[in-house]
Structure 1
Amino acid sequence: MNSKKIISSVSLATAVLATGIISQEAHADSVDTTTTTASQSQPQLVTAEQVASAKTTFDNNQEAQAQAQSVADSKKQALDTAKANTTTAQDAVAKAEAAAAPATDTNIQMAKEAIPTAEAKVQSAKEAVETAKTDVTTKEASQSQAQDAVNKAQGNVNQAQSVVDEATQIQSEKQTAVDKSAKEVEVAKQGVTNAQATLAEKTSKVSQAKQTVETAKQNDAKLDADTKAADINVEKADQAVQVAKSDVDTAKAKADEAAQVLIDANHPTHIVMTDEFKQNLKDYLFNTNYSNRQEAKAALKKAIQSENASRKLQYAYLDTFEPDTTGVKYDVANLPIELQTELSQYMAYLVNDVRQQLGQPKIVVNTDAIKFATLVAEKYDKNHDPFSGHDNKAINEAAKEMGYWYDHGYDTNPYESMAGGIIDSSYKTDDVGHSLYKVGDKVEATKSELYKLIADNVSNFIYEGERNGHYGHADSLMKDPSLGLAITVTHTDEGFGEIPMTETHVLYTPEHDLVDYDKKVLDPSKNLPELVVPDKQAAEVADRAAKAALVTATAQAQAAQTRFEQAKAAYDTLVATPRQTADAEAKLATAKAELSNAQTALANAEQTLATVTASHADKVAALDMAKASRDEAVNVLTAAQNKLDVANQELAQRETATTVAKAKLRDVEQAVKDAEQAVIDAKATYEQLVKAKANLETARQAYAKAVAAQDAAQADYDKAMVVLTNAKAQTVLSGTKYTNLKAAYDARIAYEEAQRKAKEEALRRQAERDAKAKQVRQDVNGTQFNRVNSSKYVGVQTFMSSTNEVHATSCSAAQVATAEATQAVVNRRGTTGYQAPLPQTGESDTAVYLLAGLGMLGLAGVTARKRRG
């Protein structure tokens, strides 16, 4: 059978079989088991043993092919070697022919006769070398004798120079000694004169010092009395300073406390609302029947129309507060938990102000709600579009971690209200107003600025009707039982560069689980106390009074300090004034000692003059003797230098003669080498001519053998290639057979597995449809039908209630069928249970609204509006 036809038929069968399997899988949820199996065709049966046998044959043929390939490669290598040997032998023949061409009898005879002629020249050259060596030896001996004479003469010169140097040094030392002793004589004479003058001076000073001692004793007695009185004045002034400093510290602490209270009071404490807007908002949020769309729409419109005037009053009130930007800066994206908690309490304070105006109970700050908000903030995409709304995935993932109900499909926002804002001091602009902020820069703000941000957030939540067309956030803040917040940082570019924006995430912990009402969620033990916000006007009065008291205390302290410094300066002056008696007595004793010293110094000076005068005469005599010795040594050195000059001239002549003799020796030695090489060359030429013909014959015989070896290698290689070709053909045939059998066997296995899975899937889906239909009937007829009691829980029963069809505990057969169809759509869409409406986040859609629309409009698409914060 043709191998290509086998492959094509198997591939076609495999493709048809695969198509059948795919078709069966694609419709497994709607085709009955019997229909599925009936539509399939049974593939041809191929056993595993057949496939294994074909595989073994194929493997054996592959091994044989590999062996044949190895043999062919070996023969090819032998052939390449034989060809290379042939080329080498052919080149040797060419060289031998070229060498044999000049090997005539005449040339051989001439080469033979040239050998003894060359040998005779070698002997003559060797004799000339011996003569030259003898001449060099003679010249070197003569040069050595001349060098010895020079060395001896140089030694005499060096010795004579050393004597001269020593005599010169001695003469110089003697001259120095004479000069020094002459100066010493002059100094000694002056010393005697000075000592005589000093003695007269010291005698006068002793007399004056005695009178000074008497005067000093009288002055010191008066100074001691004045110092004691000044010390008493300093002590009194210091006590007054300490009292005044204590008063300043007290006043400073009170002023700092009042200033801090004033800073803390510089926050909005009220949400301003006109009576009209307050009543309209209250009616819309708490007194409107939302099932009556006309009534709800009219109430919303009424609130929005009265919002503008009220909002202007609120923002005028906010403008009276200027946040402090000089305090401690906080990283907005990483606030300390204490400050995050304080901001949550402040938001609750403002929300409760609105609740009080609307007659509603207070909202609480709960640590679980703060933790919930922190989890949501951590999961938000930090670089998302700030106008893209809520991150439902982050909200539901955080709810799951907190143990709250969450939307498994991440499609809704059950818990979060979110507000954006900008902190003006968090970024800089250039000269043309373009932002210098770069994405990733740290955004920082003071606590005062963060308070202002929260006040703006709450205001925007309450006054959102004109902007958003709803009061979803206000509804949440007025009805949720608790809150906690966290802040993240994002950015936007409105044509002036990147600007950092804040997003305040407000999350609540519900009192009950959104689905299981019996499950309590909010833990009251984790509620935090209300934040105490000081009154700004009272704080301003206290701050002014504290500052005035501090100014007065400071002035009094400065006056006391001045009085102390004056008294201390007077005392220090007296203390610093030296006592005169001790100094005068010390000076008298010094004067007496100096007088005694002067007397001794005069006697010593006179003795020194006599000594140095005698020493100077001895040194002058020694100098004269040194000068005579040096003159004699100079004469000896001159004679030795003349003899050295003669010896150097003789040495130079003999060195020149030695250099000439060595050059001649090198020349005759090179002549011997040249003559010996000529003998070698002559013998080589002769031998080459004699052997040239024999070498040519040997080269021709080697070439003939190489050609024969190449022919044999070519024949072996051709045989090996025939064997290899046959082996490859067997491998291809056995491989084709194995591939076809394997494909057919795999198709059979795939077909059987697809049949098994199709049956299991059909049975499983039928069981699911039966179970779900049973559950829907139980939900419709059961006592749980009317259980939902909050506007936040909407299921099948709420939908029917809104159409005024169900108010009892039983339903018609048509209603049951509608419910079953609805539940089937829910199951196919992958939605588990029902989803609650979320008025606090602006979510107005539910799964049931969607399904009801599908049921009544013939499964037409319904687009619902989704409100985002």
Structure 2
Amino acid sequence: MNSKKIISSVSLATAVLATGIISQEAHADSVDTTTTTASQAQPQLVTAEQVASAKATFENNQEAQAQAQSVADSKKQALDTAKANTTTAQDAVAKAETAAASATDTNIQVAKEAIPTAETKVQSAKEAVETAKTDVTTKEASQSQAQEAVNKAQGNVNQAQEAVDEATQIQSEKQAVVDKSAKEVEVAKQGVTNAQATLAEKTSKVSQAKQSVETAKQNDAKLDADIKAADINAEKAYQTAQVAKSDVDAAKTKADETAQVLRDANHPTHIVMSDEFKQNLKYLLFEAPTNNMAALSAAVDKVIQSEAESSKLNDAYFDTFTPDTTGVKYDVEHLPIELQTELSQYMAYLVNDVRAQLGQPKLVVNTDAIKFASLVAEKYAKNHDPFSGHDMKAVNEAAKEMGYWYSKNNTINSYENMAGDIIKSSYQIDDNANSLYKVGDKVEATKSELYQLIADNVAGFVYEGEMNGSYGHVGSLVKQPSLGLAITLTHTDQGFGDIPMTETHVLLVPEHDYANYDKKLLDSSKNVPDFVIPDKQAAEVADRAAQAALVTATAQAQAAQTRFEQAKAVYDALVATPRQTADAEAKLATAKTELANAQAALETAESTLATVTASHADKVAALDMAKTARDEAVNALTAAQNKLDVANQELAQRKTATTLAKEKLAELEQAVKDAEQAVIDAKATYEQLVKAKANLETARQAYAKVVAAQDAAQVAYDKAIVALTNAKAQTALSGTKYTNLKAAYDARIAYEAAQRKAKEEALRRQAERDAKAKQVRQDVNSTQNNRVNSNTYVGVHTTSFAAAQVATAEATQAVVNRRGTTDYQAPLPQTGETDTAVYLLAGLGILGLAGVTARKRRG
């Protein structure tokens, strides 16, 4: 249905109500169905394109309002800074006036004379320092001598202990020989007794032989007891050796731990900046006038000029650290959250070092910032071009998910700093210096290498001026309150094959939302504790001690193993010793058969007894000497241990003396610094008094400049407020226009549907009336006595439908003219509500059609 037909129908219904035209009763066949289009009375209808255009205008105005708000906030901050600068300059003028008032000739002369007095004190303090240094050197030498005495005493104790162990072993061996000799004496005595008995009483030979057998059995029993005792000794020695092995394992574990701590401590803990670079950077970031582009550019150039020398100092410091490439490897694209947090803490540690040097408060690591960084890293395109800059879409989509302000058009990056780098061990080259890395290969690095990567990233942020002429990254790092990082992998081809590169995404989350200052973004309960870095020197000392303990434990384990093997040898020897019972029984048989030779046997036995007795006496004497030697060794060990205790006490005393001497030296060195500072202060006081009047004039000029700057900032802020007010007004107007157009468009769609339905109903009823009219004519023709001139009746009482359309069009135009309707908005009568003229006419049209239909039905 076209728009002209819609307006025509609406106009007709309105005219019926407005002019009071009412059709008289008429036959159905007299209705004039001619349609007339009154296009000159039709207002402009709302289209879908108009609604879409209004919506786009409204959204653009919203974006413009947000930008105007951001500009106003920035100008407000600039105004506050200018006011603070004015206050500072005013204070400076007051101080300069006070100084100028005190700059009398007398005060200047006094200040001048104070300088040589202060210089004399410096020389005296330096002489005291040299004397203290000599004292420290003397006491350190004394301490070193005491340490040598302790080491020597410890060596003596060790030697004495070895002597005791050796004497104990010798005594044990001599005792075994005596025991064996005693057995031989007993055997010889028994032989004599047996021989004598054989000679004395031939009949008791068997009885005596049996006694010998019993004696042999007792000896065998004793041998069994000795074997059991040797077995126990061997078992104890075995257990001692096992404990010693466990001690070696524990010492090895400790040594491995201290070695790992030493490796972990081997990374930079400081960003080196020269005093000149530091001062220039501080001025650029916090003091340079932001509204003076020439001054700002000059400040940048000054930082760049001092960067090269300062960067060399930092490079030299970084070169003292070599990352460990032999430890546990981590996939750089899938770091454990604990390690990702640890790397964020390490970066914050280095950034806080920079902030401290620039006189700024510390930032923190927050788990929400780490989550933000992880979201950004997930959204970065795979194999992102490392030279294409930030992925705006990734950053803003992640900010939206976190509930932070974001750029809807992805044209602004308000959160991310990004650094690219290469981990040297992550790829290999062939003989032609071409990279063997292929895109998609896993890239792994040790924790030490990742630490070095983060340190290089921070240094790159600080020293970037010579590369791009800007210090935007370090500026954001030292001003934002929190950070979190994540690492992604990409690659580049510089003509030698693909090389893997890392991209470190550092997300800086502000305290408050950019678009809503009342919305706080950082939850302090999610802050991560400050990072603690192990002391490298302490780690080296602990590692040396652990390695020495491992050597000692290993030596002790070897000694314990030797003692076990010796005890096992004694046991094996006893087990191999033959039993005596069988031999005694054999002798019993021999005694029975060699009775005739008993006399000879007796003489032999007596001779043997004399021999073994003499030998046994010699062995007992040797045993007594071994016991005496062991007692002497024990006494020597006790004396050596006493000397060691005395040496340790002396060493402790000398260490205390050295410490006191060093503390005294430190006090005297501080005194030198204080005296030198006094000279500096005296000279500064003199210079201040001499230049007081000139400084006053300079301060007054500076005050005039900052007052002018404050006025300019006030003007800029006022303009920004006006722009913001206009933007808000534009947004409100475009929003109202969009709402009204949308409502009118919806009403139009509803009305068209109603019109189609009404037209279909009218056609159906017209068909019914036509059928009834035809029947009436047939009835009239058949009844001659009731003829009626129907044409005359209709002509008198019928109002033409076409005429009604013309009247309706005129009435509609009158309504439109009276209300002053625009193409998108018109007020409703009396209520003050806003709606469209088309929507108003549509409502009247439905009522009007209802009235016409009712009257026609009665006809």
TM-score exceeds 0.5: no
Max radius of gyration: which structure?
A: 1
Q: What is the TM-score when the length of structure 2 is the normalising length?
A: 0.44
The structure with higher relative contact order (CA 8 Å, sep 6+) is 2
